[in-house]
């Protein structure tokens, strides 16, 4: 690797079990700040970060475990695994889209109404995804581990209500902590499969 940023990008791995060790408030702030520095469509920064610790975090884990009963395997098992990760991590950061771009997009971009909702919603999702990746990388750079729990989308209405964002859109729930054990993680495809030069 040629520099620290590239090394951090390569080092990031999804981690699902964590040590009991706490994450400092300073580190939580640094991670949130990195997420907030992400690019966003029309600089609308249409994201909200919700930090959960202690009882609130456990209440979210309980909600996920309860809702897992509404699904068949393997989804029920994946939801229970997500709940265990939430319990295991000392801090969880949830990310929701605010809907601000969807609300004001028409004034900003002047696109046809038929295109509007799909375009602005996609722009919000892409902006928040950039924020989530910033968050994951910032955590990695601080020797912290994370996992992006997308499976909670399946119970998004209950999760958003619990987070106090009933009008938002679910993006991610991210347990953050010190890795219990670190593996090499899954293999990545070679670049010659993932990328091509148009000629
Ligand atoms: C949008 C998205 C949703 C994901 N949802 C889950 C999830 O619900 N549960 C989980 O354990 N991992 C989840 N992951 C993590 C992936 O499983 C992981 O990124 C992938 O296996 C590659 O491993 P790596 O992150 O260690 O490179 C998600 C990742 C992304 C980008």
Domain assignment present for residue 139? The answer is: yes
Query: 183 or 199: whose pLDDT is higher?
Result: 199
For residue 117, pLDDT over 70 is answered with yes
DSSP state of 42: G
**CA atoms of 170 and 157, how far apart (whole Å):** 8
For residue 20, pLDDT over 70 is answered with yes
Domain assignment present for residue 67? The answer is: yes
What average pLDDT score do residues 58-79 get? Answer: 97
**Ligand 1 mutation target, pool 11, 78, 86, 150, most atoms within 8 A of CB:** 150
In three-state secondary structure terms, 172 is strand
For residue 140, pLDDT over 90 is answered with yes
Averaged pLDDT of the chain: 95
Range of the domain at 161: 15-179
Q: Kindly report the CATH number assigned to the domain that includes residue 95.
A: 3.40.109.10
* The token pair that represents 2 in the structure block: 């040629």
Q: Quote the ligand 1 centre to 16 CA distance (angstroms).
A: 10
Percent of the chain whose predicted confidence (pLDDT) is above 90: 85
Domain assignment present for residue 78? The answer is: yes
Using one digit for the tens of pLDDT, what is the confidence trace for 3-15?
999 999 999 999 9
Name the pLDDT band for 1 (thresholds 50, 70, 90).
Answer: low
Domain assignment present for residue 123? The answer is: yes
Name every protein residue with a CB atom under 6 angstroms from any ligand 1 atom: 13-14, 16, 82, 147-151, 185-186
Percent of the chain whose predicted confidence (pLDDT) is above 70: 99
Domain assignment present for residue 68? The answer is: yes
Closest-CA residue, ligand 1 atom 10, reads 149
For residue 182, pLDDT over 80 is answered with no
Q: Quote the ligand 1 centre to 104 CA distance (angstroms).
A: 32
Q: Work out whether the CA dihedral 117, 115, 126, 42 comes out positive or negative.
A: negative
Domain assignment present for residue 194? The answer is: no
Q: Quote the ligand 1 centre to 172 CA distance (angstroms).
A: 11
Domain assignment present for residue 43? The answer is: yes
Domain assignment present for residue 3? The answer is: no
Residues in the chain: 199
**Ligand 1 mutation target, pool 15, 16, 147, 169, most atoms within 8 A of CB:** 147
- Overall number of domains in the chain: 1
């Amino acid at each position: 690797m040629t520099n620290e940023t590239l090394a951090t990008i390569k080092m990031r791995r999804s981690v699902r079990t964590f040590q009991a060790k706490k994450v400092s408030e300073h580190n939580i702030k640094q991670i949130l700040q990195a997420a907030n520095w992400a690019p966003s469509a029309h600089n609308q920064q249409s994201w909200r970060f919700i930090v959960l610790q202690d009882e609130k975090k456990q209440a979210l884990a309980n909600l996920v475990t309860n809702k897992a009963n509404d699904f068949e395997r393997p989804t029920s098992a994946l939801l229970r695994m997500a709940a265990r990760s939430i319990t295991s991590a000392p801090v969880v950061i949830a990310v929701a889209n605010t809907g601000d771009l969807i609300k004001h997009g028409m004034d900003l971009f002047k696109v046809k109404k038929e295109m509007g909702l799909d375009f602005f919603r996609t722009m919000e999702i892409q902006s928040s995804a950039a924020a989530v990746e910033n968050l994951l990388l910032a955590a990695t750079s601080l020797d912290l581990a994370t996992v992006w729990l997308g499976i909670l989308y399946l119970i998004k209405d209950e999760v958003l209500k619990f987070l106090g964002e009933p009008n938002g859109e679910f993006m991610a729930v991210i347990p953050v902590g010190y890795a219990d054990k670190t593996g090499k993680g899954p293999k990545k495809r070679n670049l010659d499969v993932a990328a091509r030069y148009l000629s």
